[in-house]
Homo-oligomer: A and B are copies of this chain.
Amino acid sequence: LNEFELIARYFQSSQYSDDVLLGVGDDAAVVTVPDGFKLVTSVDTIVEGVHFPNNSAAADIAYRALAVNLSDMAAMGAIPKWFTLSLCIPTIDETWMNGFAKSLNALASQFKVQLIGGDTVKGPLNISVQIMGVVEQDHWLTRSGAQPDDLIVVSGKPGEAAGGLRLLMNAHSSLHDSHHEQQLIERFLRPVPRIALGRELRSIAHAAMDMSDGLLTDLKKLCFASNCGARLQLDDLPKSSLLAAMFDPEQCEQLILNGGDDYELLFTIPSASLQQLISISNAIGVRCTLIGVITAGDQVECMRGNEQVTVADSGYDHFK
């Protein structure tokens, strides 16, 4: 099997949609970006021992590789359409490849994204996915548009993924019997890209991003990009009964503020759009929580009640 046949054998779609004029198998793929739409693209690479635990299941690795890229499309308000896969693996193990491909193909199918190119090379495990999507002319989301007095909102329950990872890493056995435990681990292993929410936010959000490094770190990035500050209400952070069942209150807050891997959306809206956000949240069934306001400053202040408190920001840095 050469690299070409590998991609064809495991990943090639038998049936492309009409927008794919040339798929896997030539020197490049050719696709149509519809009139009135812009191309949105991003790359995310995941490496064993850095982005996922050593000896993770192939299915989990594949899911993560594509999901984190889909999440970037969600953060832009884009419709994900196509992706390429660069798979660097030490050796070809049929079972591993089947597990990887099945999981990748299932997630791709769920979000209607098509693999249009790929590369397999021999080397230390490294999976790079490049995602391409489309978005209506002048209607994409950025992280740089937040304005003072905007409300700061997060989707879902940040911290649960990090809680799940902690349980996964600290487990003395590979069995996770508790239902809570299993659910938290699932949050880490199967983050749900918030595509539908991102699409809806185009009409109301001033700024948006997906959270991968931790709420506090990511909020600071959003503020930096928007040239503003924020006042975060710690008491308003979304409570997680799953986290509460497994960790003490202080740990919970730490996980919520500094746990990464959530791939929830962090965004700001003008207060006038609050009612509309509630309608959106109800319509698509994704919980959204107000956690603070954007300020004219350049600091992210954490408030407990009316009192400002200092919170360690231990956001993720690959090279720290």
Contacts and interface: CB of A to CB of B under 8 A. Distances in A.
A140 B319 contact: no
A2 B121 contact: no
Interface string A117-145: 11111111010101111010000101110
Contacts of A122: 47, 50, 318-319
Nearest to A317: B2
A266 to B, nearest CB: 11
Contacts of A240: none
A104 interface: no
A25 interface: yes
A221 to B, nearest CB: 8
Contact of A40 (B29, B38, B43): B29
B209 A45 contact: no
B130 A84 contact: yes
A300 interface: no
Contacts of A117: 41-43
B45 A225 contact: no
Nearest to A318: B122
A119 B318 CA distance: 11
B30 A72 contact: no
Interface stretch (A73-81, A254-262, A291-299): A73-81
B26 A41 contact: no
Given A122-B319, A318-B3, A47 B84 contact: no
A58 interface: no
A31 interface: yes
Contacts of A130: 41, 43, 84, 86, 130
Interface of A: 1-4, 6, 21-22, 25-33, 35, 38-51, 72-73, 75-76, 78, 82, 84-86, 88, 91-92, 116-124, 126, 128, 130-133, 135, 140, 142-144, 209-210, 221, 225, 317-319
